Amino acid sequence: MWWDAHSHLGFYSDSQLEQIFGQGRLLGLSTWVQGGYDSKDWRRQENLKQQFPNHFRTAYGLHPWALAEMDEETREQEWQTLKTMAPAAHLIGETGLDSYRTTDPETMAVQEEFFIRHLELATDLNKPVVLHMVRAHSQALKILDQHFNGNKGIVHAYSGSPDVAHQYTQRGFLISIGPGVLKKGYRQLKQTVEKLDPKHMVVESDSPHDPENPELEVDLVLRVAREIAVLKKMAPEQVLNQSQKNLLNLGL
């Protein structure tokens, strides 16, 4: 049974999740690795892990977008909650830098501060991290070298160049390929897929596409795997098997 390397199943209702797991079983899917957003999301993940223990790998972290929605007091309250809950998670994150939505210096400074905090927390707990990186790879790599000596992790929804992907894999990170590879264009991402060794790659759906109106997209990770297989001249089953092996090697 195969794994989805990144999703947000907490946005779905319990009845939708029953459908997802039922359809997933028929398609050969068993386990969904999560991406954390805020304390509401972590608690939802915690409850779902108890309800559906065989299907979840939890990730708790303050997403860069969530940080932008909070004032300083709320951020600190959320951070204290994260430190309390994090030991029970499989991974720490999502965390990282996102300069696509804003380049405001104050916002970016907050992202960087909390990125460093997450890395140090993951190091202390010896847990892998889930990285959210958009147009900030150079700074992110510098911060990783300075502040992270932990159990590596996953660069989720990667869309950058082969060279930058190589810099992450040299540091022990997996490159997670999502639905971007299915879209027209995205030539840089597709070149990365063509060049990347499968032992450094995992496959994700990043579902749901619209958290406000989550639709069932159970086969999306399989469609991503099929496109990767075309680019790499492999069988889709080989792509999915290697992705699962890579995730297990993270200790998940």
Mean pLDDT over 5-32 rounds to 97
Mean pLDDT over 164-180 rounds to 98
Could you say which DSSP state residue 181 is in? G
pLDDT value at position 188? 97
State phi, psi for 100 to the nearest 5 degrees: -80, -45
Ramachandran bin of 67, using left for φ above 0, alpha for ψ from -120 to 50, beta for the remaining angles: alpha
Cα 177 from chain centroid (whole Å): 10
Q: CB 223: neighbour CB atoms within 10 A?
A: 16
Pair of tokens at residue 13: 């209702």
pLDDT in tens, 56-98: 999 999 999 999 999 999 999 999 999 999 999 999 999 999 9
Q: Please state, in angstroms and as integers, the Cα–Cα distance from residue 245 to each residue in 165, 174, 206, following that order.
A: 19, 11, 19
Cα–Cα distance for residue pair 111/95, rounded to 1 Å? 8
CATH class of the region 2-249:
alpha beta
By CB atoms closer than 10 A (0-12, 13-18, 19+), residue 199 is: exposed
Closest listed residue to residue 203, CA positions, set 167, 183, 185, 227: 227
pLDDT value at position 104? 87
Cα–Cα distance for residue pair 56/252, rounded to 1 Å? 10
Q: Is the pLDDT of residue 242 over 90?
A: yes
Mean pLDDT over 203-226 rounds to 96
pLDDT in tens, 127-163: 999 999 999 999 999 999 999 988 799 999 999 999 9
3-state secondary structure of 231: helix
